[in-house]
Amino acid sequence: MRALLVVNPKATTTSEYNRDLLIRALGGATAAGRAIDLRVAYTTRRGHAVSLAHDAAREGFDLVVTLGGDGTVNEAVNGLLSADPDGAEGAAYGAHRRPILAVVPGGSTNVFARAAGLPRDWAEATQVILAALRQGRTRTVGVGRADDRYFTFCAGLGLDAEVVRRVERARLKGRTSTPGLYVRSAMAQYLTETDRSTPMITLDRSGSGFPDEIGLASVVVQNTAPWTYIGDREIHASAEASFDTALDVFGLKVLRLPSTARLASQLLRGRPRINGKQIMTIHDVYSFGLRAQRPMAFQLDGDYLGERGKVEFVAVPEAIRVVV
């Protein structure tokens, strides 16, 4: 079995130590009775894992392993899916035709790996992956697509993405990515910079037979649950979201202080069901668009991608086989 290990050496919890142990473990492993022929590649810039995974798929590799955070996983998935023939996507092409994906958590939060059922600790996750490879055990999961970019667990337009942008700026200044940094960034963003008075987003469901949702202040789109983690605690916006269904949408109609404080309290307590008159949720929706009155902050899988005035979303079922 030909395998490519994609290492992000700058990921939060990735080190030379765990990288070297992983290389030795994979190099001596078997997958369904076949020896693994391992190649190792290191990312040197943002977006590099896209081209590495794309080339691996085109060259006929059987397995792509990532050691990094959610951003590295996102890039690898985009690389694997972009290698499909023109016009083919998801189940229409067949996940069995793409390399299998294995994810070793090496970032700060590792939402995708944990949502897929892997341990948070990289060493424990490696042991699970090695056992699954020996047994030929995989799970086929769907992903989402936002315009021309795929995502594995969530997307956000508005406040959610503004917080991601604020965290990224803090990290560029040398701050370490921790749960506390995210909480402090969310509070500071909401209190000092977010427009709380004018809901500007419309959820466009044209052609679906359902009415549009007008007057949303911030929107999160989930491909699975939970939305994210704070330490060991799951944070749920739409608890019904799943890799096995289409997309879930969680929208806030207003961002007034009292209602937002109640929402934050429910989220931080890890409640699976979020209640409130300001909340709009839709489960298992295949396609829709988001329209904003002005460009707003936008993120995919925890990476800030600039500002967007409109985004088209599509669910892509049965897209990737994941080692679990």
* Whether pLDDT at 242 is above 80: yes
Give the confidence band of 93 by pLDDT, cuts at 50, 70, 90: confident
Average pLDDT of the chain?
94
Fold observed for domain 2-140: Rossmann fold (3.40.50)
DSSP 133: H
Q: What is the pLDDT of residues 255-267, one digit of tens each?
A: 989 889 999 999 9
Question: Which stretch of 30-39, 120-129, 145-154, 266-275 has the lowest confidence by average pLDDT?
Answer: 266-275
Is residue 78 within 8 Å of 47, Cβ to Cβ? no
Positive or negative, the CA dihedral 102, 96, 245, 157 is: positive
What's the average model confidence in pLDDT over 72-93? 85
* Cβ atoms 309, 294 nearer than 8 A: yes
Q: pLDDT band at 319, cuts 50/70/90?
A: very high
Question: Distance between alpha carbon 71 and the CA centroid of its chain, in Å?
Answer: 7
Is the per-residue pLDDT at 1 higher than 90?
yes
Q: Which of 301, 294, 242 shows the shortest CA–CA distance to 77?
A: 301
What is the CATH architecture assignment of 154-316?
Sandwich (2.60)
Structural domain spans, the chain: 2-140, 154-316
pTM, full prediction: 0.94
pLDDT of residue 207: 74
| Top-confidence residue, 322 or 268 | 322
Alpha-carbon distance of 140 to 191, in angstroms, equals 41
The Cα 158–Cα 298 span in angstroms is 7
Report, as an integer, the average pLDDT of 172-201: 90
Exposure string over 48-85, b if 16+ CB within 10 A, otherwise e: bbbbbbbebbeeebbbbbbbbbbbbbbbbbbbbbbbbe
- Identify the band that residue 305 occupies on the pLDDT scale cut at 50, 70 and 90: very high
What's the pLDDT score for residue 277?
85
pLDDT in tens, 187-213: 999 999 888 878 899 999 987 777 888
The mean pLDDT of 309-315, rounded to a whole number, is 98
Count Cβ atoms below 10 Å from residue 140 Cβ, excluding itself.
Answer: 17
Residue 92: what pLDDT? 64
Inter-CA distances, 283 with 246, 287, 301, Å: 8, 12, 19
**Tell me, what's the pLDDT at 91?**
65
CB atoms within 10 A of CB 250: 25
- What is the four-CA torsion angle of 291, 293, 296, 299, rounded to 10 degrees? -10
| pLDDT greater than 70 at residue 87 | no
Cα torsion through 60, 62, 66, 72, rounded to 10: 40
Distance CA 166, CA 163 (A): 5
* C-beta neighbour count of 294 within 10 angstroms: 9
Express each pLDDT in 11-45 by its tens digit. Answer: 988 899 999 999 999 999 999 899 999 999 999 99
Residue pair 31/79 in contact (Cβ under 8 Å)? The answer is: no
Max Cα–Cα distance, the chain, nearest Å: 61
For residue 18, the model assigns a pLDDT of 92
User: Which two three-digit tokens encode residue 318?
Assistant: 């049965």
- 228 membership: H or E segment, kind and range: strand 228-230
* Separation in Å, CA 58 to CA 53, 54, 76, 82, 246: 9, 6, 13, 10, 28
pLDDT at 170: 94
